[in-house]
Structure 1
Amino acid sequence: MALYLALTIPLPFLSQVTASLVPPALLWLGIGFGFVALYGALSERVILDEQKIQVSYPRWVPRFFRKGWELPWTEVKDLKLRTTGQGGIVYYFVSHSGQGYLLPMRVVGFSKLVQLVQNKTGIDTSDVRPLAQPWMYLILLTFTLLLFFVDSWTIWTAVSLGKLT
């Protein structure tokens, strides 16, 4: 969310300074809608219980935007590894009907989730690792904060030069 804000907040100011054809008010509106959409996409909930694993979203998130799923533990046939286009590794639950369900990988307590999957399904999960490591998030946070600093300086410079009123 912070990266989204760091990337978008300067746009209305730059639009006004450069006399862009896109009015700043329209950009603010778009940023607001984008923020809500991103928040909805990132509000995924992973629910585990004795019978199933479920991925759901709050009721206000339209189903056409993000649709959840649930899979009873008894329906899990296998856990298949797949590589991503960026070279990462993700895992899919494969049901007895052959349908795939993406294993949620960006959850707090991922190792506990993987252990529970192993306990409930009997599938060996000892090689399953999270997609992103904590140090990756630290790098992202560092560059996001740096971008906020540059954004602040840019906006302050434009305002102090009297280009924004």
Structure 2
Amino acid sequence: MTAMTVPGTGRRDAIRRRSVRAIKVHWPVSRRTVAAVGAGHVEALGDDDSLAALLRELRALPGVGDFGLYQDVFEVSIGAEGFTPKDGALPAFGAVGGRTLSPTLALTTYIDAAAGEDEISQILARIVAAHPWEVPVVELSAPLELVSRA
């Protein structure tokens, strides 16, 4: 724990630095879900059956999204995934040879950087198994520090 002077206030606030790894999952959703999430309707996350399956997986994984006083912590970003399926692909959305733009939410959550590689591999395997895309886009960061109030 570190105490820092807050610039311009003269106040000293204790901060906590925690080493974590980010897990970011790109997930296809309907345009309706994108609009509802953009409007701040949290229930829309459960209205999409496929996305609800991901959220259930994340909640079931020990240590994922654990922020002490808060649990099940994740961030949602709205976007679109662009791709062109090649011959041999079995796209869940779009068609072979056609340029496609799929409405997508990116969910980011965190796990303690001290988690073992076996634990992290099991978490990623469960996410990939639940993913509807033939080639899921799941990012795992190198260890990074989150900063919060102590």
TM-score normalised to structure 1 length: 0.24
**Structure index of larger Rg:** 1
Identify the structure with the greater strand proportion: 2
TM-score normalised to structure 2 length: 0.25
Identify the structure with the greater helix proportion: 1
